[in-house]
Amino acid sequence: MNRMNIFILLALSVLLVFAVPASATDLNAKTCHNIIGGMWSADTNTCTVAKIVSVNRDITVPAGARLITLNNGAITINKGVTITNYGYINNLKSCTITNYGTIYNKENGTFTISGGTLINDAKGTIINTGALHNWYIGNIKNAGIINSTGAGTFVNDNIITNKCGGIITGLEDTQYVIQEACELPTDNRHHDDGRYHDNQRH
């Protein structure tokens, strides 16, 4: 094999390394500790977060595994990060999950806000085809997209605040949804479909 062929093979190898994206990492003892910053219980396959953490890599919660916030724990899912849940995610009292990325709650997956707050930023997307449940002491604040579709169930027993620009679909009962109006500008303009138009004549 001549030098030119060797150079071509090396170049192709480098291109393949950068072209193939890193796959999501399953939640386990190692990823719970090193990536999420939680404590792992092997008996229940549970990753417990009891402090403020930031997730910067894609994580898959497999069937049988659990991700739980506890004791004022807070999880921030950063922009570009995807959390895919086939297991169980529970945000407990006084805890917060803030989503700037994407959360997929898949078939047979359960995502429960059982006392804490779920904040879905304007850049955040939550797609539910499993069971999404905001319990009677939970809160959801949405400025992005929450879409419950297919066989997914989205049950709400407490307050959901849907901010200006927020989109919620598939919610079974909208009784406790507070729709915040978009703020009108303070100058001589009016707001129409998210765009501003000057009222002054030219």
Q: Domain extents for the chain?
A: 24-183
- Cβ-proximal residues to 92 (8 Å cutoff; 6+ apart), any chain: 68, 69, 70, 73, 114, 115, 116
**Rounded mean pLDDT, 166-190:** 84
For every residue of 185-201, DSSP letters joined together read PSSSEEEETTEEEE-S-
CA angle, residues 22, 27, 28, in degrees to nearest 5: 120
pLDDT for 15 beyond 90: no
With beta carbons less than 8 A apart as the criterion, state whether 146 and 123 touch.
Answer: no
Task: Give tens-digit pLDDT for 31-79.
Answer: 999 999 999 999 999 999 999 999 999 999 999 999 999 999 999 999 9
pLDDT for 29 beyond 70: yes
Residue 187's pLDDT is 60
Return the DSSP state at 168: E
With beta carbons less than 8 A apart as the criterion, state whether 141 and 164 touch.
Answer: no
Mean of the per-residue pLDDT values of the chain: 86
**Rounded mean pLDDT, 101-122:** 97
Write out the H or E segment, with its range, that includes residue 53.
Answer: strand 52-55
